[in-house]
Amino acid sequence: MPWTKERGLAGIYYEIKGSGPPLLFIHPPGMGHVTFRHQAEGLCRTHTVIQVDIRANGRSGMDDQPLSMALLADDVRRVLDAAGIRKTFLCGYSNGGSIVQEFAIRYPERTRGIVLLGGFSEVNSFLLRNEFRTGIIAARLRGMRTISEVLAAAHEKGARRKELADYVRRTSPAFLAELYDLGLHYKSTDRLHRITSPVLLVYGQCDYYVHHYRYIFQKHLRVSCDVIYVSMANHQLPTKHPKELNRILKEFTEKTRNREAHRQKRAVRQLGEDLPLI
């Protein structure tokens, strides 16, 4: 069970499974790396799957640095350094996608491609704003049992539902409120042009209140941005539609790698044409 180990900095817990092109997953506040157990199980034969507990969530530690999205992106970079991974695909679920966007903006040289599940670049709708505010109020009232049961019931069944609820309760209510508040006020819209890697937006067909964000991404991004709607799905794509999501992730990473190979071949061919004859 590895953690990052820099002196004076929070130890960030992560798990690595499988082999192949790296694919790192970032969960929403409170839920922990167990959110992506279906992806770890389904993709480990073709990918190196990295699951992370963001700071003060799950098994990860905490330090005295002020919370910011830049700090959370830095934590991801520290995980990659600890794991010896130079460049990776990243997949962020819901507000975890905000961390992925910040990482891609700050570390383009470490980013191979990003996938946002129910992603948004800012909170600009009544329903999404209310969802964040409800989470903040519940956390400040120390209603962790209620929060954990609601999140677990929305995502899992049976024993896995209990496991997820128990994992959510590892997060302190005060820090969870901070994370929700950070997500509520985060905005990457005016910096999306700094993302240099391909982007894939995946939305549940029935997850209507975040569908309009696709137009914001497509307006501001200067890179390839594909959009997929998962039929008959709501927001909980990693746990409720794992087979379809895993297929989508495989296709995206393969398509991106093929594009990279094509560009490299073209660059080599161009170099050969430009060399002087001796």
Q: Which domain holds residue 23?
A: 14-122+194-274
Answer yes or no: is 94 within a domain. Answer: yes
Number of domains in the chain: 1
The tens digit of pLDDT for each residue in 34-90 reads: 999 999 999 999 999 999 999 999 999 999 999 999 999 999 999 999 999 999 999
Instruction: Give the whole-angstrom CA distance, residue 265 versus residue 204.
Output: 37
Answer yes or no: is 152 within a domain. Answer: no
Answer yes or no: is 184 within a domain. Answer: no
CATH number at residue 206: 3.40.50.1820
> Which residue is listed with tokens 């049961």?
149
Answer yes or no: is 76 within a domain. Answer: yes
Answer yes or no: is 151 within a domain. Answer: no
Answer yes or no: is 138 within a domain. Answer: no
> Which residue is listed with tokens 């092109």?
21
Answer yes or no: is 269 within a domain. Answer: yes
Q: Which H helix or E strand runs over 250? A: helix 242-274
Least confident segment among 32-36, 112-116, 240-244, 262-266: 262-266
Q: Which of 2-6, 91-95, 260-264 has the highest mean pLDDT?
A: 91-95
Per the structure block, which two tokens stand in for 87?
Answer: 């460049």
The tens digit of pLDDT for each residue in 118-135 reads: 999 999 999 999 999 999
Q: Is the pLDDT of residue 29 over 90?
A: yes
Answer yes or no: is 206 within a domain. Answer: yes
